[in-house]
Chains A and B, each alone.
With several copies, the nearest count.
Chain A
Amino acid sequence: MTNATNSQLEVEIAGVRFNNPVWTASGTCGYGLDMAELIDLNKLGGICTKGLSAKPMRGNAPWRIVETHGGMLNAIGLQNIGARAFVADKLPELRKYDTRIVPNVFGYTIEEYIEAIQILEEGEGIHAYELNISCPNVKAGGESFANDARQAAAVTEAVKKAASRPVIVKMSPNVTDVAAVARAVESAGADALSLINTAVGMAIDINTRRPRLANKTGGLSGPAIKPIAVRCVFQASRAVKIPLVGIGGIATTEDALEFIIAGASAIQVGTANFYDPSASMKIVDGLADYCQRNGLKSINELVGSVVVD
């Protein structure tokens, strides 16, 4: 076991200091507290909450998850207690831990994003926001914000105006040109990017001939999508100057290193929390060991160190 507050592992993203680059990903650790019984939250670099909207949301009908080879599909439907309940009921307890709190925020219109941010602005102990822009923009024809560089930029710009804290925009892999969206979002003022959200997928029950998910399609996550995620991080790292947070199938120290070398200043552990709740702890220890063994003063030396000729 290595000391979690090992200064070798400290990273700074958008002016916020994180004890280490290992965060838990939105939707895979509840509101953080839900993991407190299983891992030491003080040892986490950061916690991204389940996506929060201005109003509570009931979520989709079951079934909501299906396991696939190397991953899983989910269509939770963004069930959440709402930003207000988070601030009132979860945040006071959560902020007692020595970690960084990054609420994940979403809406179906720009106004809804702003509303959620305004509620969260009232909360004490929030360090940054992560914008989930993979929701359909119901006012602009139902296309996902993340699918269109202009819409992604528009929501980023609006949120930046409303937010006193840094804004991390979460990219979708379901686009033709992730670099273009990344550039648009950077220009709109994003402080950092996190990538990737899930890839849209589907599974059909061959006996009932029905989609396995009540929502028909769902988001594919887990080791299956890791190569897609590493590629997106690499492409974004060539496209923008703001820091990147890597997500997608990370379950081991080696996975985390791959993303960091590709260009990520921090990483998030998602689906792995489900099948190996201590994955994030092992990665924190593993990265510290790696720095030690390789004589790195700081993990930052690794960020984007991929060699391409």
Chain B
Amino acid sequence: MSAFGKIIDAVVPVERNEIVRSGSSRSYGYLRLRLDEPIPVLPGQFAMLKAHGIHEPLLRRAMAFYRQERMGEKLDVEFIYQILGRGTQELAKLAPGDKVDFLGSLGNTYDINFAAGREASHEALLVAGGVGSPAVFMLAEELLKREIPTRLFLGGASHGDLCGLNDFTALLGKERIACATVDGSYGEQGFVTAPLERQLKALAGKPAVIYSCGPDPMLHAVAKLADAYEVPAQLSLEAPMGCGFGVCVGCAVAVKHDCPANSSESFVYKKVCTDGPVFWSKELHW
């Protein structure tokens, strides 16, 4: 047992694989897999996936769990992936009944207790961009379950890039979601950090916490705002991953540390796959 659940390495069947094309000419796959064993799957965790039996590419691809659903003795898990390079192109070819190499659950989870607070709840501000949004859906579910006030700030290039928008709307209701698209095709035009900043201002000191996942530039902007408004933020990072379970040390991210007296180093490298993918933004040495 790893710190955050159980890891299985299994060949599992595809239940569903729906390919959608966004207006901005990006494509996404909605993939549903059926696991024989209902392993614990926590918000923010991920799996390493590969179409079964292919010779290329070799490495599995990291994908955040989007949703899970218990199916009797089994567990269905869902992913949303952007079709980019060789690995996701092979995923896109999968049809129901085809097989996927599945390794999971991997990684840590968000610190939801922080939002729950010791006395009163913090307001949870979920900030997601592009295919970062799958990584916060189960988090939103959990926050709701624990009755923590939750808002979602969802950004993307275009309407079609707001992954999972319908599911988020059904879960949170329209009024708790602010969308921003670069082309203005949905929500306000621009970056998602604009509505986020308005909300941070509106908070006027009320306790809040940011949970964010998305492209690096977005995370940097979010971290800056978090700093400026003195709101703690947890960021779910991406890194190129060789293994996903801590043995290759390929997924390094620089994390600040209290330097030992005899060391001139102001940071160490931690592993996004096992120390993360979720980090407090204050920890990161950017």
Contact = CB atoms under 8 A, between A and B. Distances in A.
Interface string B76-114: 000000000000000000000000010100000000000
A308 interface: no
A72 B7 contact: no
A144 interface: no
A76 B59 contact: no
Contacts of B2: 37
B1 A37 contact: yes
Contact of A58 (B7, B103, B253, B269): B269
A22 interface: no
A275 B56 contact: no
A278 B9 contact: yes
Contacts of B50: 275
Contact of A65 (B56, B250, B265): B250
Interface stretch (A27-35, A122-130, A132-140, A150-158): A27-35
Interface string A68-112: 011110101001000000000000000000000000000000000
B59 A35 contact: no
A181 B55 CA distance: 34
Interface in B1-56: 1-2, 7, 9, 50, 55-56
A233 to B, nearest CB: 22
A67 B59 contact: yes
B243 interface: yes
Contact of B243 (A64, A223, A273): A273
B254 interface: yes
Interface string B231-243: 0000000011111
A65 B248 contact: yes
A286 interface: no
Interface in A20-75: 27-30, 34-35, 37-38, 50, 58-67, 69-72, 74
A277 B50 CA distance: 13
Interface residues of B, number: 31
Contact of B59 (A34, A50, A274): A274
Contacts of B101: 275-276
A243 interface: no
Contacts of B57: 67
B202 to A, nearest CB: 36
Interface string A266-291: 00000101111110000000000000
B248 A28 contact: yes
Nearest to A39: B9
B249 interface: yes
B58 A277 contact: no
A228 to B, nearest CB: 17
Interface in B52-69: 55-60
A262 to B, nearest CB: 20
B248 A76 contact: yes
B58 A70 contact: yes
Nearest to A56: B268
B245 A65 contact: no
A304 interface: no
A34 B246 contact: yes
Interface centre among B57, B59, B241, B250 (most CB of A within 10 A): B250
A79 B60 contact: no
Contacts of A65: 240-242, 248, 250-251
Contacts of A61: 252, 254
Interface in B221-237: none
A32 B259 CA distance: 28
B247 interface: yes
Contact of A38 (B9, B55, B248, B250): B9
B7 A76 contact: no
Contacts of A271: 58, 242
A30 B250 contact: no
Given A63-B239, A74-B250, A277-B245, 10 more contacts: A27-B249, A34-B245, A38-B7, A59-B252, A62-B239, A271-B58, A274-B60, A274-B248, A275-B60, A276-B101
26 contacts: A34-B247, A37-B245, A38-B7, A38-B9, A59-B269, A60-B252, A62-B252, A63-B240, A64-B250, A65-B251, A67-B59, A67-B240, A69-B56, A70-B58, A71-B58, A72-B59, A72-B242, A79-B252, A271-B242, A273-B247, A274-B248, A275-B59, A275-B60, A275-B101, A276-B101, A277-B9
